[in-house]
Structure 1
Amino acid sequence: MTDKVANGESPGAVRALVMSDVAALAGVSHQTVSRVINGHPNVAPQTRERVEAAIAQLGYRPNVAARALVTGSTRTIGLVTVKINQYGPAQTMLGLEEAARAAGYSVSVSILDHATARAMREAVDTFVAQRVDAIVALSTYDDAAQSLSALDPPVPLVAVQVGGDEVRPAVGVDQETGARLATRHLLELGHATVHHVAGPADSKEARVRIEGWRSELEAAGAPVPEPLRGDWTPSSGYAAGRELAARRRAGQDVTAVFLANDQMALGLLSALHQEGIEVPADVSVVGFDDLPESPYFTPPLTTVRQDFAELGRRGVALVLARLRGEELHPDAVPAPLLVRSSTGPAPVRAGSVQG
């Protein structure tokens, strides 16, 4: 009788790979393989490479459940997010996943339709039951922040781009400076003032961009027009474009517009084109986000860039610091202005005298 039959295995059965198989092929101890798999720093680079090569050659996959029993860690981060259909949250989620993978962690995702207190609590409780090492909350809306403020899970919980006044560690983009740069650029081109198409009222990002726009106008002594309200979609930008065109026809000085995101800017460009208003000859336009498509708008869109990949990396760095018991207070991710063809000098008014 063969050993397999004696051990209760059927002839021809393939035994599952175990850590000792990797150790034997790499010529190291079982403990060394464990250190490599768990990202322990005290492993010589050559030894780590040999173990990783053996893992790749064998196609070995660690038993996460067994490893969790031994180490108390599943090497998993839970990510709860809201309204992932929008470009920013989707790209930030990808950045988080990429950074987590590079650090040796996997990401488990829970996508909520609405960030109610109950939905947020249930998502966090589910992650805790799954024994994740930490939880990241990703949203820009007030209800998410209010829900998170009432939670105190037994694992680190950090916020990325969450609206409201966070009482827990958080990372985000420097929204206000980005908005000020956009507004200043238009004022420096000679525009008397800058109109603004804002995002939803319950979005902290939208409110901070309004604050930056208004602060820059006030600092320059320029008039502060009543902002128009959008909902991040091209259709709301289109409606704002029609409204601004009507204001121009009524004699208002509308020569420059700063929109709270690029998708609304796309809709506004379409509306202005249909109204026979040329960009930037008649009206200069600036967006926010720097969508991959923005350089290919007609004309290419001047915009403020959000580095969502960097935001994800900083979010993971904050998580890892918390897991190590360290205090980390990362700076806001910069939001630079990218100047393209949708902005230009203010048009010369009829009757004005050029020097």
Structure 2
Amino acid sequence: MAKRPPKSIGLRTEPDQPLKSRAPAPRDPNQPRLPFDPMPDRIEPCLALLASKPPKGDDWAFEIKWDGYRLAVHVEPTKVRILTRGGHDWTTRFAGIEEAARNLGAASMILDGEAVVLDDQGRSDFGALQNALGGRGGKRNANAAVFYAFDLLYLDGHDITRMDQSERRMLLESILIDSDGPIRLSEEIEADGAVLLQSACEHGLEGIIAKNRHRPYRSGRTGDWLKIKCVQSESFVVVGYEPSTTMPGAIASLLLAARKGDGLVYVGSVGTGFKDSVARDLRKQLDSMQIVKPPVAIKGKSLVYARPELVAEIEFRAWTNDGKLRHASFKGLRDSADAADVYRVT
């Protein structure tokens, strides 16, 4: 006959009594509690450091580089907050993403990712995203925007930024199952970095991101994440414009500057990439910011100068020997809430 378990594990041994657990003992005040981390109001994002070529080795994971607005989606038990890189609340501007975030299942989380609008080839289009939002400073709701999540920073009461990237990635993949909704997983691609970069460039993508699998999430540009671009694209300050001689009330080109030390330096102009309506809108905007003295050292006739407040995203192929942009093309204006880094020259 089988014997009953010994008393030492706390079971009643009388044959005519039901088995019951022992009464709970008072909690020892010296016993540590399970850790609980309050959700932070904001986490400064981890930024990718520009690299000339992809890193090699098994330590690195690769993803496609998205061209949009960096956002953090905070899912709380009673609400969702969508914050820009600069910490501005844009929840009302991404209603579709907000609604999708409410249905993800977890009680609380912070997703790190990029809001984009895709073209008919599935490529992110920064200009289309700007139009969806109503332009710089616009208040339109970007219903067409898709949020590609590429990191998970907080989950159900726990700050997981101290975990390795590979561990955070596993948790993120367990949450994001729907591949067609407003919130999607930014796929990790198993490939040699150089081969993936070549393929990305052939398909007209901006480039790739490399992430060290063994690093925690650290704010700032630490080198844990790298960006390798097919075509150079950077943010520059708009310091004025050259009026169009063929289209009344429009610009012919924008005058651009980069940061150097504590000031600005002229890096050339951009005269392509504008639609007619954009060229007229830019002139109206810059005319309202007009100043007499140029904010940078520049020479030219018929130039109109403006306060250095607007930031434009510019695609270009190379630099000239005298420090000017070659084959520059306008992609759109960066919103101040995006807190984009203005290119700095040495």
More strand by share: 2
Scaled by the length of structure 1, the TM-score of the pair is 0.23
Larger relative contact order (CA 8 Å, sep ≥ 6): 2
TM-score for the superposition, normalised by structure 2: 0.23
**Structure number with higher helix proportion:** 1
